[in-house]
Structure 1
């Protein structure tokens, strides 16, 4: 059954009906024939007499008629403006027309926003996004220029601005100011009504040129102010007469590597500076080693549950050292992709050392041996990454307090066959490592301060992950606060984690503590403070990734707001292109569709809004779910656990967000990410052929479930009768 119309939809329909009625009456009564220059000239004397007899009544009627014509974008506004001068003179006429035209424009704006903005944004969200971003930044200037230049039809400006995020108050005030010069010209012309031979002759080429120059003034003033501010910003630094490089990139993680690669590809002279290992955290201590560990852990878990596949289950014999040797081998296999040799072969100069900004163009590079080299560049990109947060609880200095960076060496050197680990945190890194190590057979205790895991995900998603972790042997302590640590003073002595859950205190024994409490941007030691570059949790940048100094950019984890390798690479394109070609054209970073995957078992993959986020923003959404236990390929793979959940705009197939819980969820999400990026709805996914039997069919079946909810149930009895009639021959 089709869903009933909402109150807002009823109001929209009533508004459309009222507007249609007024427009029909306007033309049916022949009012459009009265709003011509000839009709106004013929009735001029009679109108003046009426104004003399009832000045307030005529002024009020004139005001109401003008507002109505402007609000409904009816023909005749220009003639009414002339009438203002002819009836009321320059002063009062300008005052009446100014307020009437602005109020009418505001009403037209509000009507268009009510009726058109929702459908247009749903249909053309991707195309409108850059326009909305520009209006959010310079909307008042855009509107002021359009109002000052009367070559643009004002009714069209009202409709177009209604589709943007500009505030109604800003629209009204800017219109009031911007339309004043043109209003004055027309009202003044109206005082010479008898001599006018046509409306088109009012704006002479010199006058029109003057108004166009006036429309350009706000932009010229903004450009001049920007240049003055830039001059003030740079004036205390001596600018090099010649630059050694086109670009210097600090940091060889994902953002730095991609930035350097792009710069070298377009034949810029680029230097990449890295003080540690090439590839950054992702290659050496993050994504690559953790996923290699997870793949071994998945196999161990499946051996224990081999009965699900008709085989005899068995407990795998763990050789932790061999597992870690495999992890190291996989890192070594990927490492050539990020190596010095590869990038030097691409044309990138790679220097090892600590980089520090001396001024907006100069970077000092200190090698491990203590020597220093100074290079200048037109542009600099900061891609210094992030590092694990290490808490300072009582006793933390006396215990093996590991992070996602140091856990690998500790495990490789640990003499214990099955060391006990306490994992602090409930985010993606904590859940991934806790489950993987537990699947390998290590005793794992996970401690989370809040009452559930994965706080960025919906509660039903977190519940699935919690159940999976507990089934794999992780001992969970949720809603638990860490108070500190104690350690047995004997060599290799056990560690005790002191915790409190409510009023109850506990002592948790382990051999080491793995802190997975988040990551923070690397900001120290790069000269940011000396240059006055603003920082908070990350380096402060604008939409073009520029810092305080327009030639210094930041990308990746250090720029935020995301801490994913794929977003670092995504930002790197913008940083490189803007740094090298920004004087020709700059691009704002597009962060509208950012996927994320937590590689637990089952995986959790999310893009766009979650249900919790939509609720917090007060957004109405429709939720469509498809359980994987109904998917044929999931059934035969014994991978029935999980679901697909898609959020759409009410009454529309436009995807606002999606979450997939299940095996290979990260891969399955890609189709939905593509659809969101390019404005394709669930209808397009439903109409796309998917190979059978595949896990990818989950997206199609979710779209089918959405489609099924919209079957017009009231038509089904009539269809039954139709088919019965057809059977009668």
Structure 2
């Protein structure tokens, strides 16, 4: 609860602001009003210059301190009434004092509350303050796209010292203040139509219009000078682009560079294709397919056939997984990329400078390579939680799982996220006795509760022993048996197992890159902090994929890679900011879970008003025909509108169904457009149309439909009096 001094100060501020509005303050601080009284004000100021400047400065301090509208007009007025010298002095001092008061008030009143409620935003600002200090604030002050009153309030929430804020704000605002005051000075000198076309006035307004561009250029120049200080840029380069890492992000980056005829080299220390091909998407989906076939055979009675016991060699299943990898491998092979024009090198790369890498080739020799831009796309790896005794259990992860030849009889799976859920269900359907542990209160915690509940029900039907709210505290050997010691509801739980599969998170691959040599600090997860254009500390250095986050999907890595490559090659001319507004993902459990945009829970947490339209797949003819009639579609839309804010599909072929909603969101198509599109019958994608139909039914115009009902009845002759005026009907009855 807010302390009494804070309440008193807040009350005073609210009273002053209310009085300002009620007494017509906003109308007073307009250019039209000041021009209307310019003659009388000029006369009074000429005789009371010091007093007038002092009163003006006090008004300016009050306006900026209270974040009231009118500061821009007051700045122009300062030049018009006092001229460049006095106006600049009054405005620069008053604006700095007012901004500092707003800064201090925000810190006193709101810092604790807003840091809790807007932790992510404040954290990003704090990181900028800690990283760049005064330069970060100066950047915000110089670029007019950031409203000054928001800067005052936001910076008050950070840890910046007040004195630093004062002098940096004064210095950084001075160029813009001069341009605005000078424009006001020229406006104040207009006495005839000819003055409007004077060179001085035109030049002042040209400066006013060009200032944002000039400020942006100056900020970029100063940033480059600052970050590259102490480094010697090579006179020439071996490559236009060097890419570290041959996974999805690295391959796409190299492909784009080669496609636009840039000279590009791709450096990979192990196997091309990265996690997706070798240890992630491809092998896991191959295993999941085998598991689904096993489940189909085991429940063939659903299709009018005799169910059969599932037998076979687990080794043959894993051989098939490796065959699938081998068939996909040519898509990511060195031969293919060399044919495209990419130099494929195999070895460990480490930074020497922002433009230079040292490459230790796998054959033992070392060389140094330079490039105008470098892309870090080294991917990620499974992270082992620091649980005592875990390493001694020789744990399986999504990385080494594909080397086993025998199916674990008792498999313990740590983690209830997408990877843990996919693999736990697959092994259960292939015959393992699976126990899955999750610290939280549900599986797939990023999804809505009804989604998690449906997945849990299917897991239990498949025979999985799912333990929610279980925390593993230690692993040990007891009487020759592997045991996990857990805590649940304040009690100790002992779980015996043969092998443990860890799927509790991932960490970025940044070891050995030498990032510390060039001053790039990594996050606790090992990931590197990137800007909106995917650049790192240096404008020519980029990162994409798992090493950059925040998404750990192959398609997200490819999406980021486009920005990294294009900005790396053409960023001196124009830079593109990565767009995450429409990011779909699929969890390949049974039922599949596919989502794009907001979930219902996220909308509630963010206070976003929305309607939820639901369509159950047990109504879909194709689902009924295939005995897959379980699941649902949820679509979020703004109240009364058909624009899609988010969609989730739970059921068979959910990933394919989701594509239509993703396309619609990306290109601004609403549910009415989906409803008006012909879908072939009977297909799974008809469900998208039927979901749109559910929304349309809920928004049917009731009054119009009732009138139409009466019209149709009248046209049938069923009730000729239905549309006649009441008086006529009474006369007829009489």
Instruction: Tell me which interval the TM-score lies in, with the shorter structure as reference length.
Output: 0.7 to 0.9
Q: Which residue in 2 is equivalent to 1:400?
A: 394
**Match for 1:356 among 302, 325, 350?**
350
1:516-531 to 2 correspondence within 5 Å?
516-531=503-518
Q: Indicate the SS of the match to 1:313.
A: coil
Q: 1:91 to 1:683 in 2, by over 3 A?
A: farther
Q: Indicate the SS of the match to 1:640.
A: coil
In the TM superposition, residue 204 of structure 1 has moved relative to its aligned partner by 2.1
> Are 1:398 and 1:487, in contact at CA under 8 Å, matched by a contact in 2?
no
Q: 1:428 to 1:370 in 2, by over 3 A?
A: same
2:643 counterpart of 1:693: no
In the TM superposition, residue 499 of structure 1 has moved relative to its aligned partner by 1.6
- Distance, in Å, in 1 between the alignment partners of 2:196 and 2:34 is 12
In the TM superposition, residue 335 of structure 1 has moved relative to its aligned partner by 0.4
In the TM superposition, residue 232 of structure 1 has moved relative to its aligned partner by 3.2
Q: Indicate the SS of the match to 2:421.
A: helix
- Distance, in Å, in 2 between the alignment partners of 1:552 and 1:372 is 22
In the TM superposition, residue 270 of structure 1 has moved relative to its aligned partner by 0.8
Q: Indicate the SS of the match to 2:645.
A: strand
1:239-638 to 2 correspondence within 5 Å?
239-410=233-404, 412=405, 414=406, 419-487=409-477, 494-536=481-523, 537=525, 538-638=527-627
> Are 2:183 and 2:204, in contact at CA under 8 Å, matched by a contact in 1?
no
Write out per-residue CA displacement over residues 122-144 of structure 1, whole angstroms, 9 at most, x where no aligned residue. Answer: xxxxxxxxxxxxxx999976758
In the TM superposition, residue 651 of structure 1 has moved relative to its aligned partner by 1.9
In the TM superposition, residue 653 of structure 1 has moved relative to its aligned partner by 1.1
- Distance, in Å, in 2 between the alignment partners of 1:166 and 1:712 is 43
> Are 1:245 and 1:271, in contact at CA under 8 Å, matched by a contact in 2?
yes
Q: Indicate the SS of the match to 2:427.
A: helix
> Are 1:245 and 1:378, in contact at CA under 8 Å, matched by a contact in 2?
yes
2:696 counterpart of 1:707: yes
In the TM superposition, residue 719 of structure 1 has moved relative to its aligned partner by 2.6
Q: Indicate the SS of the match to 1:601.
A: coil
> Are 2:187 and 2:201, in contact at CA under 8 Å, matched by a contact in 1?
no
Instruction: Specify every segment of 5 or more residues in structure 1 that has no aligned partner in the other structure, as ranges.
Output: 1-59, 71-76, 109-135, 146-160
Write out per-residue CA displacement over residues 280-313 of structure 1, whole angstroms, 9 at most, x where no aligned residue. Answer: 0110010000000011111111111111111111
In the TM superposition, residue 433 of structure 1 has moved relative to its aligned partner by 0.3
- Distance, in Å, in 1 between the alignment partners of 2:708 and 2:178 is 60
Write out per-residue CA displacement over residues 561-582 of structure 1, whole angstroms, 9 at most, x where no aligned residue. Answer: 1000001011111111111111
> Are 1:141 and 1:219, in contact at CA under 8 Å, matched by a contact in 2?
no
> Are 1:448 and 1:478, in contact at CA under 8 Å, matched by a contact in 2?
yes
Q: 1:183 to 1:244 in 2, by over 3 A?
A: closer
In the TM superposition, residue 483 of structure 1 has moved relative to its aligned partner by 1.8
- Distance, in Å, in 2 between the alignment partners of 1:201 and 1:648 is 54
Q: Structure 1 stretch 338-347 or stretch 706-715: which is displaced more?
A: 706-715
In the TM superposition, residue 91 of structure 1 has moved relative to its aligned partner by 6.7
> Are 1:278 and 1:339, in contact at CA under 8 Å, matched by a contact in 2?
yes
Q: 1:446 to 1:165 in 2, by over 3 A?
A: farther
2:37 counterpart of 1:84: yes
In the TM superposition, residue 372 of structure 1 has moved relative to its aligned partner by 1.1
Write out per-residue CA displacement over residues 499-536 of structure 1, whole angstroms, 9 at most, x where no aligned residue. Answer: 22123322222211000001111121101112111321
- Distance, in Å, in 1 between the alignment partners of 2:229 and 2:140 is 31
In the TM superposition, residue 584 of structure 1 has moved relative to its aligned partner by 1.6
> Are 1:359 and 1:531, in contact at CA under 8 Å, matched by a contact in 2?
yes
- Distance, in Å, in 1 between the alignment partners of 2:425 and 2:180 is 65
- Distance, in Å, in 2 between the alignment partners of 1:530 and 1:517 is 31
- Distance, in Å, in 1 between the alignment partners of 2:220 and 2:680 is 56
1:14-25 to 2 correspondence within 5 Å?
none
Write out per-residue CA displacement over residues 392-432 of structure 1, whole angstroms, 9 at most, x where no aligned residue. Answer: 3222232121111111112x2x3xx6532100000000000
1:185-196 to 2 correspondence within 5 Å?
185-189=186-190, 196=192
Q: Indicate the SS of the match to 2:37.
A: helix
Q: Which residue in 2 is equivalent to 1:212?
A: 206
Q: Which residue in 2 is equivalent to 1:644?
A: 633
Q: Indicate the SS of the match to 1:401.
A: coil
Q: Structure 1 stretch 85-94 or stretch 652-661: which is displaced more?
A: 85-94
- Larger RCO (CA under 8 A, 6+ residues apart): 1
Write out per-residue CA displacement over residues 182-219 of structure 1, whole angstroms, 9 at most, x where no aligned residue. Answer: 44444444xx5xxx4x5x74352432123312443454
Q: 1:643 to 1:68 in 2, by over 3 A?
A: farther
**Match for 2:27 among 48, 63, 67?**
67
Q: 1:188 to 1:632 in 2, by over 3 A?
A: same
Q: 1:688 to 1:230 in 2, by over 3 A?
A: same
Q: Indicate the SS of the match to 1:297.
A: helix
In the TM superposition, residue 246 of structure 1 has moved relative to its aligned partner by 1.1
**Match for 2:655 among 656, 666, 689?**
666
Q: Which residue in 2 is equivalent to 1:230?
A: 224
Q: 1:237 to 1:620 in 2, by over 3 A?
A: same
Q: Which residue in 1 is equivalent to 2:129?
A: none
- Distance, in Å, in 1 between the alignment partners of 2:633 and 2:43 is 67
Q: 1:496 to 1:142 in 2, by over 3 A?
A: closer
**Match for 1:680 among 660, 669, 674?**
669
Instruction: Specify every segment of 5 or more residues in structure 2 that has no aligned partner in the other structure, as ranges.
Output: 1-19, 46-51, 74-136, 155-169, 721-734
> Are 1:81 and 1:183, in contact at CA under 8 Å, matched by a contact in 2?
no
The TM-score normalised by the length of structure 2 is: 0.76
Q: 1:140 to 1:622 in 2, by over 3 A?
A: farther
Q: Indicate the SS of the match to 2:331.
A: helix
Q: Indicate the SS of the match to 1:402.
A: coil
Q: 1:547 to 1:66 in 2, by over 3 A?
A: closer
Write out per-residue CA displacement over residues 201-249 of structure 1, whole angstroms, 9 at most, x where no aligned residue. Answer: 4352432123312443454344234323322322322222211111110
Q: Indicate the SS of the match to 1:259.
A: helix
